[in-house]
Amino acid sequence: MKIDIFSSSQLRAFIVSSSHRYKEAFAYTLWAFSGLLITGLTTELSLSQISKLSGVLIPTWFLITLAIYILNDLSDRKFDKLVGNDQPIATGEVKPKNALPIVFVFSITALLLSSLVNPFVLLISATYLGIGVIYSTPPLHIKKRLMGKQFTLTSLFLLSLLAGGASVLRFPPTLLFLIMVFGIFTFFMTPIPDLKDMKSDSKQGCKSLPLLIGPKYCIYMGILAFSTLLFFAIWGFLYFNFNFFLIPMTALLSLANICFVE
């Protein structure tokens, strides 16, 4: 079936699908930009150089994340319709025939943009996209595998940070430290958002941690995740010259979130 990507219906599909997933795209893009900013400031890169690289990395990561999430919406459309999810592909506001070209256009554009930075960013972008694809589609469909959600979210966040460093072709100890910190934090924290999806995950056949170990232990994992932030803040202050005010700020953040989790 021939699709005109410049038709009014297709352009509307671009807008509607993207507006439904811009928050997720913004979150991952912020991590990629943070990796670039941390690396640039640590290695004394000029602000003009950081701005130049950001001008390519930001749209790259925003588009590639949109592609991943829209593909997931496309893959889950039948189930989302059954459970009453209001995402536009499930409701029929965006037709599947219009959604697939969006994934292709965003993916190809993002990979082309990443190639303008350097081959390492292109490789990380392709890996990032590949994980998103196998998460949502057969035959691997790791969304339904044991701890598939946890692996995917942790991997995508860490690859976003790594892409920032790869943009500068440098990986200072501060960046590697933060990758380790947020890797541990994300791994233990990701079951918390899954608590609200337990019923739908069970119906879909997803082997999420809340279904495997129960909500109680997932809450303990969330408390542990925020508690470790304070420990790492002190470690960063002592060995990586982090600002001292990071410690009380992290303590307050951890305490607030632990109370929320409990």
**Residue 12 included in any domain:** yes
Are 154 and 189 in contact, with CB atoms under 8 Å apart? Answer: no
Same domain, 83 and 206: no
* Mean pLDDT of all residues in 49-53: 95
| Cα–Cα dist 193/210, whole Å | 10
203 within domain boundaries? yes
Whether residue 150 sits in one domain with residue 45: yes
User: For the CA atoms of the chain, what is the radius of gyration?
Assistant: 20
| DSSP labels, 176-189 | HHHHHHHHHHHHHH
Q: Say whether both 199 and 250 belong to one domain.
A: yes
Q: Are residues 110 and 148 in the same domain?
A: yes
Does 66 lie in the same domain as 29?
yes
Worst-scoring range by mean pLDDT, 89-103, 145-159, 235-249? 235-249
**Looking at the domain assignment, is residue 259 inside a domain?**
yes
Same domain, 66 and 131: yes
Q: Is residue 42 part of a domain?
A: yes
Average pLDDT estimate for 218-240: 84
CA dist 107 and 101 (Å) reads: 10
* Residue 79 and residue 115 in one domain: yes
* Residues 84, 195 share a domain: no
Q: What percent of the chain has pLDDT over 90?
A: 45
Of 123, 151, 171, the residue at which a domain comes to its end is: 171
If asked whether residues 59 and 140 sit together in one domain, one would say yes
CB 200 within 8 A of CB 84: no
102 & 61 share domain = yes
Average pLDDT over residues 186-208: 81
Q: pLDDT higher for 262 or 241?
A: 241
Of 119, 98, 72, 71, the C-alpha closest to 9 is: 98
Q: Is the pLDDT of residue 1 over 70?
A: no
The pTM for the full model equals 0.86
Query: Which domain range does residue 245 map to?
Result: 181-262
Among the candidates 171, 192, 207, a domain finishes at: 171
In this prediction, residue 53 carries a pLDDT of 96
Q: Do 19 and 127 lie in a common domain?
A: yes
Contacts of 262 by beta carbon, 8 Å cutoff, 6+ apart: 219, 223
111 phi and psi, to 5 degrees?
A: -65, -40
As for how many domains the chain has, the answer is 2
State how far the alpha carbon of 55 is from the alpha carbons of 45, 95, 117, 126, 220, in Å: 15, 32, 10, 19, 40
Last-in-domain residue among 171, 203, 223: 171
User: Who has greater pLDDT, 185 or 105?
Assistant: 105
State how far the Cα of 164 lies from the Cα of 160, in Å rounded to an integer.
Answer: 7
More confident position, 228 or 159:
159
Farthest CA pair distance, the chain: 61
CA dihedral of 121, 125, 127, 130, whole degrees rounded to 10: -160
**14 lies in the same domain as 52:** yes
Query: Quick check: 16 pLDDT over 90?
Result: yes
Average confidence score pLDDT of the chain: 86
